Chains A and B, each alone.
Chain A
Amino acid sequence: MAFTLKINGTERSVDAEPDTPLLWVLREQIGLTGTKYGCGIAQCGACTVHVDGVATRSCAMPVSAIGPEQQIVTIEGLSPDGSHPVQKAWLALDVPQCGYCQSGMIMAAAALLQQNKSPSDDDIAAEITNICRCGTYNRVRAAIRQVAAAAGGTARNG
Chain B
Amino acid sequence: MTIVQSVSRRGFIVSGAAAIGGLSLGFRVPVAGEALAAEAMPEVNAWVVIQPDETVVIRIARSEMGQGTLTGLAQLVAEELGCDWARVTTEYPSPAENLARDRIWGNFSTAGSRGIRESQDYVRKGGAAAREMLVAAAAAEWQVPAAECTVDKGVITHAASGRSTSFGKVATAAARLPPPAEVRLKDPKDWTIAGRPLPRLDTADKLTGRQVYGADIVRPGMLNAAIKACTVFGGRVKSFDAAAVAGMPGVRKVVQVDDTAVAVVADTWWRAKTALDALPIVWDEGPNTGISSTSIAEALAAGLDADDAFVGTRAGDARAAIAGAAKTVTADYAYPYQAHATMEPMNATALWTPERCEVWCPTQNSEASLATAAQAAGLPARQCEVHKLLLGGGFGRRGFQDYVRQAVLIAKQIPGTPVKLLWSREEDMLHDHYHPATQCRLTGALDADGNLVALHMRISGQSILASVRPEAMQNGMDPVVFQGLNPGGAEGAIGYTIPNLLIDHAMRNPPVPPGFWRGVNLNQNALYLECFIDELAHAAGQDPLAFRRRLMANHPKHLAVLEAVAQRIGWDSPPPQGVHRGLAQIMGYGSYVAAAAEVSVADGRLRIHRIVAATDPGHAVNPAQIERQVEGSFVYGLSACLYGECTIRGGRVEQENFDTYTVLRLDEMPAVETIIMPSGGFWGGVGEPTIAVAAPAVLNALFAATGQRIRTVPLVNHGLRNA
Residues of A within 8 A of B (CB): 17, 20-21, 24, 27-29, 31-41, 43-44, 46, 74-76, 78-79, 81-82, 87, 90-91, 94-103, 106, 124-126, 128-141
With known contacts A36-B344, A37-B345, A131-B665, A44–B658 Cβ distance under 8 A = yes
Number of CB contacts from chain A to chain B under 8 A: 173
Cα distance, A37 to B208, chains bound together (Å): 16
The reply to whether B343 and A100 contact each other, CB–CB distance below 8 Å, is yes
B203 close to A (CB within 8 Å)? yes
With known contacts A97-B66, A100-B344, A135-B633, A39–B658 Cβ distance under 8 A = yes
Of the candidate stretches B114-122, B459-467, B666-674, the one touching chain A is B666-674
Of the candidate stretches B147-155, B252-260, B267-275, B410-418, the one touching chain A is B267-275
Among A20, A75, A97, A136, which residue has its beta carbon within 8 angstroms of that of B67? A97
Contacts of B425 in A (CB 8 A): 38-41
Among B65, B199, B210, B632, which residue has its beta carbon within 8 angstroms of that of A135? B632
The reply to whether B395 and A133 contact each other, CB–CB distance below 8 Å, is yes
Contacts of A76 in B (CB 8 A): 208-210
The reply to whether A43 and B659 contact each other, CB–CB distance below 8 Å, is yes
Residues of chain B from 175 to 210 with CB closer than 8 A to chain A in the complex: 199-200, 202-210
Contacts of A28 in B (CB 8 A): 224, 268-270
B134 close to A (CB within 8 Å)? no
Of the candidate stretches B46-54, B385-393, B472-480, B593-601, the one touching chain A is B385-393
Cα distance, A125 to B665, chains bound together (Å): 9
Contacts of B631 in A (CB 8 A): 135, 138-139
B213 close to A (CB within 8 Å)? yes
Chain B residues touching A, range: 35 or more
The reply to whether A21 and B215 contact each other, CB–CB distance below 8 Å, is no
Q: Can you report 16 residue pairs joining A to B where beta carbons are below 8 Å apart?
A: A17-B271, A24-B270, A28-B270, A33-B212, A37-B215, A40-B657, A78-B208, A96-B200, A97-B628, A99-B206, A102-B207, A133-B639, A135-B632, A138-B631, A139-B631, A140-B666
CB distance from B3 to the nearest CB of A (A): 12
Cα distance, A95 to B669, chains bound together (Å): 15
Cα distance, A40 to B140, chains bound together (Å): 62
Cα distance, A27 to B208, chains bound together (Å): 15
The reply to whether A34 and B343 contact each other, CB–CB distance below 8 Å, is no
With known contacts A40-B657, A41-B657, A99–B666 Cβ distance under 8 A = no
The reply to whether B657 and A125 contact each other, CB–CB distance below 8 Å, is no
Contacts of B270 in A (CB 8 A): 20-21, 24, 28
The reply to whether B657 and A134 contact each other, CB–CB distance below 8 Å, is no
B660 to chain A: closest residue by CB: A43
Among A94, A96, A133, A141, which residue has its beta carbon within 8 angstroms of that of B341? A133
Q: Chain A binding site: helix, strand, loop or mixed by DSSP? A: loop
CB distance from B671 to the nearest CB of A (A): 7
The reply to whether B210 and A34 contact each other, CB–CB distance below 8 Å, is yes
Among B392, B633, B667, which residue has its beta carbon within 8 angstroms of that of A99? B392
Among B204, B249, B672, which residue has its beta carbon within 8 angstroms of that of A82? B204
B261 close to A (CB within 8 Å)? no
Residues of B within 8 A of A (CB): 65-68, 199-200, 202-213, 215-216, 218, 224, 249, 268-271, 274, 341-345, 390-395, 422, 424-425, 624, 628, 631-636, 639, 657-659, 663-667, 669, 671-672
B429 to chain A: closest residue by CB: A39
Cα distance, A72 to B215, chains bound together (Å): 22
Contacts of B66 in A (CB 8 A): 96-99, 134
Nearest first, the 9 A-B pairs at minimum CB distance are A34-B209, A135-B632, A98-B66, A100-B392, A135-B635, A99-B206, A97-B66, A125-B667, A75-B209
Contacts of A31 in B (CB 8 A): 218
The reply to whether B343 and A36 contact each other, CB–CB distance below 8 Å, is yes
The reply to whether A138 and B391 contact each other, CB–CB distance below 8 Å, is no
CB distance from A17 to the nearest CB of B (A): 6
The reply to whether A129 and B665 contact each other, CB–CB distance below 8 Å, is yes
The reply to whether B269 and A96 contact each other, CB–CB distance below 8 Å, is no
The reply to whether B665 and A40 contact each other, CB–CB distance below 8 Å, is no
The reply to whether A87 and B208 contact each other, CB–CB distance below 8 Å, is yes
The reply to whether B672 and A91 contact each other, CB–CB distance below 8 Å, is no
CB distance from A19 to the nearest CB of B (A): 8
The reply to whether B269 and A125 contact each other, CB–CB distance below 8 Å, is no
A94 to chain B: closest residue by CB: B199
Cα distance, A130 to B663, chains bound together (Å): 11
Contacts of B345 in A (CB 8 A): 37-38
Cα distance, A131 to B68, chains bound together (Å): 20
Cα distance, A90 to B207, chains bound together (Å): 7
Contacts of A129 in B (CB 8 A): 665-667
Contacts of A141 in B (CB 8 A): 666, 669
Cα distance, A103 to B212, chains bound together (Å): 12
With known contacts A44-B343, A134-B635, A96–B67 Cβ distance under 8 A = no
The reply to whether B208 and A94 contact each other, CB–CB distance below 8 Å, is no
The reply to whether B632 and A36 contact each other, CB–CB distance below 8 Å, is no
The reply to whether B632 and A24 contact each other, CB–CB distance below 8 Å, is no
Cα distance, A77 to B288, chains bound together (Å): 50
The reply to whether B667 and A98 contact each other, CB–CB distance below 8 Å, is no
The reply to whether A34 and B624 contact each other, CB–CB distance below 8 Å, is no
CB distance from B250 to the nearest CB of A (A): 9
Contacts of B639 in A (CB 8 A): 133
> Among A36, A39, A126, A141, which residue has the most Cβ atoms of chain B within 10 A?
A39
